[in-house]
């Protein structure tokens, strides 16, 4: 769950920024794509990663126009971050201790009455080794299983994108995020890139913790609704507990102007930095349909300007840190 970043810290000076929100669907991926586009346009050397490994969407907006080229420069690696129990029938003496003595705390063992053997539910299995350690005849072994893939490719916008996706039911989102960060960090090192921009998962659980642990800055995206405010506050409580500096972007600000005012007032009162805000734009979803970064597709001066402003602030934070 925890990324081992500290070692490379002094050498690389890679500035890592993670975008989270608490609530889903407020615009994390749209905003990340546009910030990446803008930073690259300003000739900054960046690398981008999609840490929403359960619903990885960032690559959809950066799919290279030439599909052949895409396949050529793409590397896919399978990662094994999970271990699962495997039942070895030849060793079983049908004593049923595994069930009667509740070896498994995760409800992953059930009893097959007909064959008098246990069944392992591989989705529920946590790989805790209890069955393996406790079975008197060692009828369970623990084996590594494929937990997901990490895909790296060069986008058409002067930066590589590293995207992770878990295999369903592998129960390993947090560890996948940690793996993904290692891949992104080592590529950044190789290519001497200065800023890693990561699109994070919704929520505040294990994968979010893995995506913000040890990063230099967190961007919180929210929208003016009670639910989004509630969720972003929970996300901020995590970021604050890690002492990570953060800034807020308010999306769809005219969705509820009254709430927007209340929200900004609250953030200001707390002394939380508001990096910028965006109005509702009905053409925004069409950028996703057309698989392009929002700012590129919209060609809207005001929106471009706002992204430019936020990108500059981000880059300045990177400069401040290394100086």
Partner 1 sequence: MNEEQSDEKISSHTSSNSSFPPILAVTGGKGGTGKTLIATNLAVTFSKNNFKVLLVDCDVENPNSYILLGKKLDDESVESQSIDIFVPKFNKNACVKCGDCQKACYRHAILQFPDHFPSVMPHLCSGCEVCQKICSYNAIDSSYRPIGKKYYYPQTYEGLDLLVGELTPSEALSAHIVEHLIDEVQKPEIYSKYDLIIFDSAPGAHCDVEKILNASDMVISITEPTPFGEHDLNRILELLEIIDKNSYFIINRANLTKEGEDLSKRLSSYESIEYLGSVDVDKTLMEDYALGEPFSLDPRTFPAKTQFLEIFEQIQEILTEEFLKTKKSSNENLKKQKIREGDK
The binding site for partner 1 (CB under 8 A) comprises 1, 22-26, 29, 54-57, 60, 83, 103, 105-107, 110, 112, 119, 121-124, 126-130, 133-134, 166, 168-169, 171, 173-174, 201-209, 225-227, 230-231, 234-235, 237-238, 241, 255-256, 259, 285-286, 288-289, 291
Q: Of 83 and 216, which CB lies nearer to partner 1 in the complex structure?
A: 83
Q: Of 103 and 217, which CB lies nearer to partner 1 in the complex structure?
A: 103
User: Pairing between strand 195-199 and 15-20?
Assistant: parallel
Report the nearest approach of partner 1 to the CB of residue 322 (Å). Answer: 29
Report the nearest approach of partner 1 to the CB of residue 28 (Å). Answer: 8
- The Cα–Cα gap between 41 and 93 comes to 66
Half-sphere exposure of 40 toward its Cβ, with a 13 Å CA cutoff? Answer: 23
Query: In a 10 Å sphere around its CB, with 0-12 CB exposed, 13-18 middle and 19+ buried, how is residue 57 labelled?
Result: middle
Q: Of 4 and 190, which CB lies nearer to partner 1 in the complex structure?
A: 4
Work out the number of other CB atoms within 10 angstroms of the CB of residue 291: 14
Q: DSSP letters of 98-126?
A: HHHTT--TTS-EEEETTTTEEEE-TTT--
Q: Of 72 and 101, which CB lies nearer to partner 1 in the complex structure?
A: 101
- The Cα–Cα gap between 92 and 136 comes to 9
The two structure tokens encoding residue 247: 């800034």
Report the nearest approach of partner 1 to the CB of residue 224 (Å). Answer: 9
Report the nearest approach of partner 1 to the CB of residue 230 (Å). Answer: 6
- CB-CB contact of 16 with 198 (8 Å): yes
Q: Of 55 and 322, which CB lies nearer to partner 1 in the complex structure?
A: 55
Report the nearest approach of partner 1 to the CB of residue 189 (Å). Answer: 26
Report the nearest approach of partner 1 to the CB of residue 203 (Å). Answer: 3
- The Cα–Cα gap between 106 and 124 comes to 6
Report the nearest approach of partner 1 to the CB of residue 4 (Å). Answer: 13
Q: Of 44 and 181, which CB lies nearer to partner 1 in the complex structure?
A: 181
Q: Of 88 and 288, which CB lies nearer to partner 1 in the complex structure?
A: 288
3-state class (DSSP) for residue 216? coil
- The Cα–Cα gap between 294 and 297 comes to 5
- The Cα–Cα gap between 52 and 58 comes to 9
3-state class (DSSP) for residue 134? helix
Report the nearest approach of partner 1 to the CB of residue 255 (Å). Answer: 7
Instruction: Tell me which H or E stretch contains 154.
Output: strand 148-154
- The Cα–Cα gap between 85 and 63 comes to 38
Q: Of 194 and 252, which CB lies nearer to partner 1 in the complex structure?
A: 252
């Amino acid at each position: 769950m925890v990324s081992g970043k500290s070692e490379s810290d002094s050498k690389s000076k890679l500035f890592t920024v993670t975008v989270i929100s608490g609530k889903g669907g407020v615009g994390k991926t749209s905003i990340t794509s546009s910030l990446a586009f803008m930073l690259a346009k300003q000739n900054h050397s960046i690398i981008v990663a999609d840490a929403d490994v359960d619903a990885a969407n960032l690559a959809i907006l950066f799919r290279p126009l030439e599909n052949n080229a895409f396949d050529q420069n793409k590397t896919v690696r399978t990662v094994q971050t999970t271990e699962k129990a495997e039942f070895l029938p030849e060793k079983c003496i049908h004593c049923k201790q595994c069930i009667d003595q509740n070896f498994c705390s995760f409800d992953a063992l059930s009893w097959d009455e007909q064959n008098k053997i246990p069944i392992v539910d591989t989705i529920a299995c946590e790989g805790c080794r209890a069955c393996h350690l406790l079975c008197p005849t060692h009828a369970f072994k623990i084996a590594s299983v494929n937990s997901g893939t990490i895909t790296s490719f060069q986008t058409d916008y002067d930066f590589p994108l590293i995207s992770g996706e878990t295999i369903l039911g592998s129960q390993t989102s947090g560890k996948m995020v940690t793996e993904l960060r290692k891949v992104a960090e080592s590529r950044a090192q190789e290519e001497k890139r200065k800023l890693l921009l990561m699109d994070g998962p919704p929520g505040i659980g294990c994968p979010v913790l893995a995506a913000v642990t040890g990063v230099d800055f967190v961007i919180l995206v929210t929208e003016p609704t009670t639910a989004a405010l509630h969720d972003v506050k929970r996300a901020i409580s995590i970021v604050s507990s890690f002492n990570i500096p953060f800034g807020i972007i308010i999306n769809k600000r005219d969705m509820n102007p009254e709430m927007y005012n209340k929200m900004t007032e609250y953030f200001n009162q707390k002394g939380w930095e508001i990096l910028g805000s965006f109005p509702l734009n009905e053409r925004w979803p069409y950028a996703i349909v057309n698989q392009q970064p929002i700012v590129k597709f919209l060609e809207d001066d005001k929106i471009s300007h706002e992204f430019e402003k936020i990108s500059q602030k981000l880059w300045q934070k990177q400069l401040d840190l290394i100086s």
